Structure 1
């Protein structure tokens, strides 16, 4: 049997040409020694090798990997270019403050104070419910710190936003608003300066702050296309992939066309709309009473004292001089806002109406009017001069200096100041019943009527001077303003 097999192999080898190859596969079966052969020509062998082309090293050190048809999810994307710059942010300041978020995307929220561990970096603030070290050691899914991008943000003191002291507000370009507060003066001032300096160092154009995020979105949305382009040299795209890509390109071009059409229409609308001056001349737009400059309100009413101030003072003197805690006790805020709306709409106002029977609503609205003046009753340019006057050692010199400054004020400020302090002297005269002394009224009205334009100084010291100036003008009203008959 073995001889016959060798002869058969020789014969087969001679009968094949040089382009053929012989594959011998030994298959041992029980009781036999059969030899199986599979002869393949060169062409079929070449086809088999071509199917493994993707595993051949075309260049030294470069392996062409096969395309993955699997669409990667969010966690599988490479975020190196996006995360690395954020991780390299330097922590400039951290510590505990009281925080309240009052707006989210422009939508007002209910004010809810809570203690937060705040971390300030070069371009953002993070709010933790506990210290950062504790938060990192107790990581829980979904419990991430609230992050605020400071690029394009605005920071200012916000006394009127809360009854608490030392409150400032941060407003972001996305419409989020935060209140931060501490009872300790130097701590809150330090935080205010640190955040303001961080904002000032950042570009005013907030669009640059989202470049990395936009890059990440582009990488995420086009990752399949990028892989397809990378493999163009090794394998031609399938027809359905080409159709899908063409659909995306066509869809993108259609979106661009729609956006351009909308921009064109908006541009035409803006260029054709009437100017603000034209609308004001036609009476379609009017400045509101609350929040307008004092001289603007007086010019509109052709007076040196706003009509609303006179109405409030008359109502209080008519039925509120004996009320306990007048000007100190707050009225119902919703009713005060309703009164404010009526005044701004210039509707007929009757403070003797039953809906305004709570005199604290009237006094609350009057305080709100002065508090919302863009420039206080004591103009910013006079603030330092009044402070220097109250510092003088000689009491009579102090009075004469303040009297001289009052006479130099613009007529709307001087006349409104005279009628207001004259009214407050009548409140003091009834102090035995209403329990409102000169000191009490100085505390209530001092910071409202007199404040510095740049409030980044020592607020505690300013508050002392504000109260002292208001108290002196009450106690020495006749010497400073003259008697009411003058």
Structure 2
């Protein structure tokens, strides 16, 4: 009895001493313990009213529920309706106009917002690290097609309540149409209240409704589309790209197109494809230009004589092949060419393009039918006889070949005149131009022998230019 009274007294003392904090701790000593240690402790939390609140359950299942509630976001934040690559430009931020800069973005559309990533991998990384991406809140947003904001086709604009404006674009009609209607449907489903509270589970049941209902909404929106987009709508895919019948239909159409496509000759005859400068016959180029010397040859020669006569290794040193190919492309596209432009500053690019022009002629400047006759002429023992034989052959050449040959060799005599500076002798130029201008139609077995004659013919025509072609001043 005395022991019970002491316990009650001690409880009252502890209770009064800890009334300010509302905590009471009672320890029970285990009499069987030899080490006088605490074997059990119990904590009770008292409210101001003296009531004991329920402690947090440590049951594993209950504990996981608390974790899921704190860590996993609501369903509405996880639901992704559409994602893919689009061209994006932000043109206003909070009503302030921005400079338009297009960039490729990985676009993710959820039930109430759009997020922009540089690539799909960045989305996964952001989800893991919790980093924020650039996003557009669709609550109260407005979407419309626009032609005034960009010269690109298939552009629509999204304007948010906060005054942000975004342009989205794709060159593929059905892709941009699907995006437009998916975003428009998402906006239409959202409350019009600017506060835009979170929606309940019933809204997500609507979002996950049957595909026929979604298609009916999609088709009704398409009927409201502006007239300028009706043409592209006719070619829109009505089913998923994975639909087997659609893919079979596309393959069938492609097969028919490939088998029925017109030949290159037919396109040329109809004037849809013009003959190019490089790779065309010399007489064809001259006929088209109503001249006997190709315009490109004249331009190259003029540029070299203006700024290349004193350049070391002119015609021997190779120019940058990529730049030469760029020059070749511009000439073939019949674009306006200015060889004084800074991109053609390297004169070796110009000489390389000129040599490429002669090298790509289907029939060389010295026609195949004249090759053996020029070789026989250069074999003659008497020097004057060789000159007369070659002069006679030159006069028999077609006008485009003869006149182009005359202009070219006259230009090369000016190179030789500056040999002390450019180090290009008659022999050096003969080695460069011989195989380029003169070759047999069939070189099998005689390439080494022919090369000797090719060089000798070019050298003789260069050293005896005035006797073969007339006065150097012509």
Aligned CA distance change for structure 1 residues 295 and 471 (closer, same or farther; 3 Å): same
Mean Cα deviation higher: 64-73 or 344-353: 64-73
Residue 70 of structure 1 and its aligned partner are, at CA, apart by 53
Contact 1:291-1:374 within 8 A present in 2 as well: yes
Larger radius of gyration: 2
Q: Does structure 2 conserve the Cα–Cα contact (< 8 Å) formed by 1:26 and 1:36?
A: no
Question: How far apart, in 2, do the equivalents of 1:54 and 1:231 lie?
Answer: 65
Q: Displacement of 1:269 after TM fit?
A: 3.0
Deviation digits for residues 424-462 of structure 1 (CA, Å, limit 9, x no counterpart): 001001111111100000000001111111111221111
* Residues 251 and 398 (structure 1), Cα distance of their counterparts in 2 relative to 1, 3 Å cut: same
1:279 shift after superposition: 3.2
CA drift of 1:226 comes to 50
SS of alignment partner, residue 240 of structure 2: helix
In the alignment, the residues of structure 2 paired with residue 390 and residue 177 of structure 1 have an alpha-carbon distance, to the nearest angstrom, of 78
Question: In 1, Cα distance between the equivalents of 2:139 and 2:389?
Answer: 45
Shift of 1:374: 1.2
More displaced stretch, 363-372 vs 43-52: 43-52
Asked if structure 1 preserves the Cα contact closer than 8 Å seen for 2:282 and 2:361, the reply is yes
Following the alignment from structure 2 to structure 1, what is the Cα–Cα distance between the partners of residues 74 and 376?
A: 50
TM-score (norm 2): 0.47
Classify 1:119/1:29 alpha carbon distance in 2 versus 1 (closer, same or farther; 3 Å): closer
Structure 2: 5+ residue stretches without partners: none
Q: How many Å separate the matches in 2 of 1:209 and 1:458?
A: 88
Matched with 1:234 is: 222
Distance 1:457 1:287, change over 3 A: same
Indicate if the aligned counterparts of 2:366 and 2:437 stay in contact, CA closer than 8 A.
yes
SS of the equivalent of 1:43 reads coil
Instruction: Label 1:17 to 1:320 Cα distance change in 2 as closer, same or farther (>3 A).
Output: closer
Residue 403 of structure 1 deviates from its aligned partner by 0.6
Give, in whole Å, the separation in 2 of the partners of 1:234 and 1:187.
Answer: 14
Cα distance, 1:283 vs structure 2: 3.8
* Secondary structure, counterpart of 2:262 in structure 1: coil
Q: Describe the shift of the 1:443–1:180 C-alpha distance in structure 2 as closer, same or farther (beyond 3 A).
A: farther
Do the aligned residues in 2 keep the contact of 1:67 with 1:228 (CA within 8 Å)?
no
Give deviations 1:290-323, integer Å, cap 9, x for gaps: 1111111111111111110000000000111111
User: Tell me, what secondary structure is at the counterpart of 1:377?
Assistant: coil
Bigger mean CA deviation after superposition, 37-46 or 118-127: 37-46
**Contact 1:153 1:170 survives alignment (8 Å):** yes
Q: Per-residue CA shift, 1:316-349, capped at 9, x if unaligned?
A: 0011111111101111111111111111111100
Given the alignment of the two structures, is residue 314 of structure 1 paired with residue 302 of structure 2, yes or no? yes
Shift of 1:199: 68
The 5 Å alignment of 1:149-164 reads: none
TM-superposed CA distance for 1:372, in Å, is 1.1
Judged with a 3 Å threshold, the aligned counterparts in structure 2 of structure 1 residues 359 and 216 are, in CA distance, closer, same or farther, namely farther
Distance 1:345 1:190, change over 3 A: closer
Equivalence for 1:103 = 92
Sort the Cα spacing of 1:42 and 1:20 in 2 relative to 1 into closer, same or farther, 3 A: farther
Contact 1:79 1:216 in 2 (8 A): no
Return the TM-score normalized by structure 1.
0.46
Quick check: 1:99–1:114 contact (8 Å CA) kept in 2?
yes
Which SS does the other structure have where 2:85 is aligned? strand
- Following the alignment from structure 1 to structure 2, what is the Cα–Cα distance between the partners of residues 235 and 165? 20
Shift of the 413–246 alpha-carbon distance from structure 1 to 2, 3 Å rule, reads: closer
**Aligned twin of 1:75:** 64
Kindly indicate whether the alpha-carbon contact (under 8 Å) linking 1:19 and 1:41 is maintained by their aligned counterparts in 2.
no
Q: CA deviation at 1:76?
A: 57
Which 5+ residue runs of structure 1 have no aligned equivalent? 1-13
Query: Quick one: distance in 1 between partners of 2:30 and 2:235?
Result: 45
8 Å contact from structure 1 (residues 428, 436) kept in 2 = yes
What's the secondary structure of 1:53's corresponding residue? strand
Change (3 A) 1:164 1:482: farther
In the TM superposition, residue 265 of structure 1 has moved relative to its aligned partner by 4.6
Contact in 2 for aligned 1:156/1:169 (Cα 8 Å): yes
Q: Work out the CA distance in 2 between the residues paired with 1:390 and 1:152.
A: 89
Tell me how far 1:280 sits from its aligned partner.
3.0
Aligned CA distance change for structure 1 residues 37 and 265 (closer, same or farther; 3 Å): farther
What RMSD over aligned residues (CA atoms) do the two structures have, in Å? 23.1
Is residue 411 from structure 1 mapped to residue 399 from structure 2 by the alignment?
yes
> For each residue in 1:379-420, what CA deviation from the matched residue of structure 2 results, as whole angstroms up to 9, or x when unmatched?
111111100000011111111110111111111111110000
- d(CA) in 2 for partners of 1:481 and 1:164? 57
How many angstroms apart in 2 are the aligned matches of 1:98 and 1:233?
Answer: 23
Task: Measure the CA separation in 1 of the matches of 2:110 and 2:383.
Answer: 50
Residue 24 (str. 1) matches residue 13 (str. 2): yes
State the match for 1:395 in structure 2: 383
Query: Distance in 2 between the 1:258 and 1:96 partners?
Result: 22
